[in-house]
Structure 1
Amino acid sequence: MAGIGFALSRLRSQNNLAGHSMATGHAIMVTAGPWIVIMIGLALISWLGVPLVGREMTTTFRVLVIYSFALSLVVTTPIALELNLRVSAELFERRFERVHGIYHGALGVAALITVALAWLLFSVIIGLDTTTATAATFCVLQVSLLWLGMSMVAAIRQYTIVTTGFTMGLSVSVVLGLSLASLGYGVAGLLAGFGAGLFLAFAILHGLIVQTFPGRVQPLTKSLLALIARPMRSVTFVIAGLLGALAVWIDKLVVWQSYEGTAIAHGLIHAPRYDVPMFIAYLSIVPLMSIVSIWLETDFFTAYRKYRDIVHSGGTLRHIEAQRTAITWQTTNTIFSAFVIQIAISLVLALAGPWIVGLLGLGLETLQVLRLALIGAAFHFLFLACVGVILFMQYSRAYFLLQTAFLVLNGGLTYALLANPDALGMGYVIATGGAAIVAYGVMVNALKIMNRLTFVDNNPAVAG
Structure 2
Amino acid sequence: MAGIGFQLQKLFKEDYFSSRLKAYGFSVLVTSGPWLIIILSLSLTQWIIGNIPTFPIETRELLTISLSYCFIFSQLIFSVQQLTLTRYLADQLYEVKYERVIPSYLGLTKTSLLLAIILFFVFLILSPLPIYLELIIGMFFMIMLLIWNTFMFITALKDYKSVSTAFLIGGLVIVLGELALAFVLNFDKVSVFQGVSILYIPFILGMFLTLSILFVVLSRTFAYKGEERPLEYLTYVDYFPRFVVIGTLYTAGLWIANFVIWFGEGSSQLYDVFLFNRMYDVAVFWSYLTIIPTLMFFVISVETRFYDRYRSFYGYINEGGSLEQILRSKDRMITVLKEEVFRLLRNQGVVTVLFLICASWIGSWLNASPEFVPMLRLTIVGAYFNAMILVFQLLLLYFEDHKGAMIISILFFGSILLLSIAFLPMGISGYGLSFCIGSIIAFIYSSLRLITFIKHVDYFAFTQGQMLQKAKLFVPLVKKLYKY
TM-score, normalised with respect to structure 2: 0.89
Is the CA contact (8 Å cut-off) linking 2:33 and 2:167 kept in structure 1? yes
2:265 match: secondary structure = coil
Say if 1:456 and 1:212 are closer, same or farther in 2 by CA, change over 3 A: farther
Determine if the alignment matches structure 1 residue 209 to structure 2 residue 218.
yes
2:457 is matched with which residue? Answer: 450
Amino acid at match of 1:457: Q
Shift, 1:224, TM fit:
4.2
Q: Any conservation in 2 of the 1:456–1:463 contact (CA below 8 Å)?
A: no
Q: Distance in 2 between matches of 1:229 and 1:334?
A: 35
Q: Is the 8 A contact 2:104 2:233 kept in 1?
A: yes
Partner of 1:77: 79
| Alignment check: 8 A CA contact 1:109 1:224 kept | no
Aligned-partner Cα distance in 2 for 1:424–1:460: 42
Amino acid at match of 1:131: Y
2:198 to 189, 196, 202: 189
Matches of 1:192 and 1:406, distance apart in 2: 37
User: Number of aligned pairs?
Assistant: 460
Q: CA deviation at 1:21?
A: 2.0
- Taking the aligned partners of 1:180 and 1:216, their CA distance within structure 2 comes to 44
**Residue aligning to 1:46:** 46
Q: Following the alignment from structure 1 to structure 2, what is the Cα–Cα distance between the partners of residues 113 and 463?
A: 26
Cα distance in structure 2, aligned partners of 1:59 and 1:237: 36
Question: Does residue 94 of structure 2 align to residue 89 of structure 1?
Answer: no
Q: Which amino acid aligns with 1:169?
A: G
The answer to whether the Cα contact below 8 Å between 1:2 and 1:154 also exists between their aligned partners in 2 is no
Q: Which moved more, 1:261-270 or 1:406-415?
A: 261-270
- Please say which of residues 411-420 and 257-266 is displaced more in the overlay: 257-266
Between 432-441 and 267-276, report the one with greater CA deviation: 267-276
Query: 1:155·1:212 contact (CA, 8 Å) conserved in 2?
Result: no
Which whole-Å CA distance do the structure 2 matches of 1:8 and 1:378 have between them?
25
Q: Is the 8 A contact 2:245 2:409 kept in 1?
A: no
2:207 to 175, 191, 198: 198
Residue in 1 that maps onto 2:134: 133
Residue number in structure 1 paired with 2:405: 399
Q: Do structure 1's residue 17 and structure 2's residue 24 form an aligned pair?
A: no
Which whole-Å CA distance do the structure 2 matches of 1:449 and 1:125 have between them? 53
Structure 1's 289 and 408: CA in aligned 2 closer, same or farther, altered over 3 A? same
Say if 2:357 is the partner of 1:351.
yes
Deviation at residue 169 of structure 1 after TM alignment: 0.6
1:433 offset after TM fit, Å? 1.0
Report sequence identity in percent: 24
Computed over aligned residues only, the root mean square deviation of the Cα atoms, in angstroms, reads 2.3
Deviation at 1:53, TM superposition (A): 4.3
Give distance in 2, aligned partners of 1:297 and 1:217.
Answer: 35
1:241 lines up with 2:247 in the alignment: yes
Q: Aligned equivalents of 1:298 and 1:213: distance in 2?
A: 25
- Matches of 2:226 and 2:146, distance apart in 1: 18
- Is contact 1:104-1:223 (8 Å) kept? no
Q: Distance in 2 between matches of 1:84 and 1:227?
A: 10
Q: What's the CA shift for 1:308?
A: 1.5
Deviation at 1:13, TM superposition (A): 1.6
Counterpart of 2:64, as a letter, is R
Residues 285-335 of structure 1, C-alpha deviations (whole Å, 9 max, x = no match): 112321112233322221111112111210012211221222122212321
After superposition, where does 1:64-463 map in structure 2 within 5 Å?
A: 64-121=66-123, 123-176=124-177, 182=185, 184=190, 185-217=194-226, 223-228=229-234, 232-420=238-426, 421-459=428-466
- List per-residue Cα deviations over 1:82-132 (Å, max 9, x = no partner): 1111111111111111112112211222122213212322x1234332112
Aligned mates of 2:272, 2:175 — CA distance in 1: 23
Deviations 1:312-371 (A, max 9, x none): 210012211221222122212321232132222212211111211122332332111111
Give 1:48 deviation, angstroms.
Answer: 1.5
> Quick one: distance in 2 between partners of 1:249 and 1:366?
18
Shift of 1:411: 1.3
For 2:60, the equivalent position in structure 1 comes to 58
Q: Which moved more, 1:168-177 or 1:372-381?
A: 168-177
Distance 1:452 1:396 in 2: 16
Q: In structure 2, how many angstroms separate the alpha carbons of the residues matched to 1:409 and 1:460?
A: 28
Distance 1:225 1:347 in 2: 46
CA contact under 8 A between 1:86 and 1:233: conserved in structure 2? Answer: no
> What TM-score do you get using the length of structure 1 for normalisation?
0.93
Residue identity matched to 1:59: E
1:37 is aligned to 2:69: no
* Equivalent in the alignment of 2:482: none
CA distance 1:422–1:95, change in 2 (3 Å):
same
How far apart in 1 are the matches of 2:161 and 2:416? Answer: 37
Aligned-partner Cα distance in 2 for 1:342–1:240: 24
Is the CA contact 1:142–1:202 (under 8 Å) kept in the aligned structure 2? Answer: yes
Higher RCO (CA-CA < 8 Å; seq separation 6+): 2
Distance 1:145 1:232, change over 3 A: farther
Over 3 Å counting, the alpha-carbon distance change for 1:233 and 1:25 in structure 2 is: farther
Moved more, 55-64 or 245-254: 55-64
Q: Is the 8 A contact 2:237 2:243 kept in 1?
A: no
Q: Secondary structure at the match of 1:363?
A: coil
Counterpart contact for 1:139–1:192, Cα < 8 Å: no
Report if aligned partners of 2:12, 2:20 keep a CA contact under 8 Å in 1: yes
The answer on whether the counterparts of 1:414 and 1:427 sit within 8 Å (CA) in structure 2 is: yes
Aligned partners of 2:435 and 2:353: how far apart in 1? 17
> Which protein has the bigger helix share?
1
Query: Any conservation in 1 of the 2:302–2:337 contact (CA below 8 Å)?
Result: no
Structure 2, unmatched stretches of 5+, are 472-484
Distance 1:276 1:168 in 2: 26
- Structure 1 residues 216 and 180, CA, compared in 2 at 3 Å: closer, same or farther? farther
Contact 2:396 2:450 in 1 (8 A): yes
Q: Give unpaired runs (5+ residues) of structure 1.
A: none
The C-alpha deviation readout for 1:362-411, integer Å capped at 9, x for no partner, is: 23321111111111122112111111211222211111110000001111
CA distance in structure 2 between the partners assigned to 1:404 and 1:170 by the alignment: 35
